[in-house]
Structure 1
Amino acid sequence: MTFNPHYAAVEPTRAEVDALPGATVLEFGATWCGICQAATPDIAQALDAQPEVRHLRVEDGPGKPLGRSYRIKLWPTLVLLQDGQEIARLVRPQGVEPIRQALQQFKSPAGGAA
């Protein structure tokens, strides 16, 4: 899957996210957030080069259970998950390179880099 430009219409539960197999980038943000909008092209560019990585955009805000379960404080925040387990986190990434570097932490099933 490449970059998903849309925030999820229905927020997944933490149990659903924890059960996701493989590599997932969970992006927390908001449609009205200027910092999120500015980061979107860099996130898209990095993820488009990693089609095997699942990308879920979750609109966060006060009282949103998934964001609170990950203790999200600033947007955008990218939580990188391998088989439902957090392996890295980027808060307000600036530029495509930090995102690319973080994505290198995903491992393929054979044990090499994804």
Structure 2
Amino acid sequence: MSALPAHCDRPLADSTPTSGHTDHPHLVLATSILASSLAFIDGSVVNVGLSAIGRDLGGAGADLSWVVSGYLLPLSSLLLLGGAAGDRYGRRRILLAGIATFALASLLC
């Protein structure tokens, strides 16, 4: 016996969009791929810069792992906050704000 309400078991084909917007699945897929590639590029930049960071700061391989960990910890926590903000303020708005912030920070760097 399911504890879910009856409308939760309804097939997706029966549901109608409540937002009034036309669905664009190819645009959504392309946007998702491009947005996730920004995260890949961002992580690659850290790995490319590790040799210069190690040379400038005189760090060994074990020390450089802390640089990567120091980068990944805030990134992981911001992913959780971004997901919660997307649920609260809208995923599209948060995605556009994140891309704008990324572009601005890249320009400043």
Query: Which structure has more helix as a fraction of its residues?
Result: 2
When the two structures are superposed, what TM-score results if normalisation uses the length of structure 2? Answer: 0.26
Higher RCO, 1 or 2 (CA under 8 Å, sep at least 6)? 1
When the two structures are superposed, what TM-score results if normalisation uses the length of structure 1? Answer: 0.25
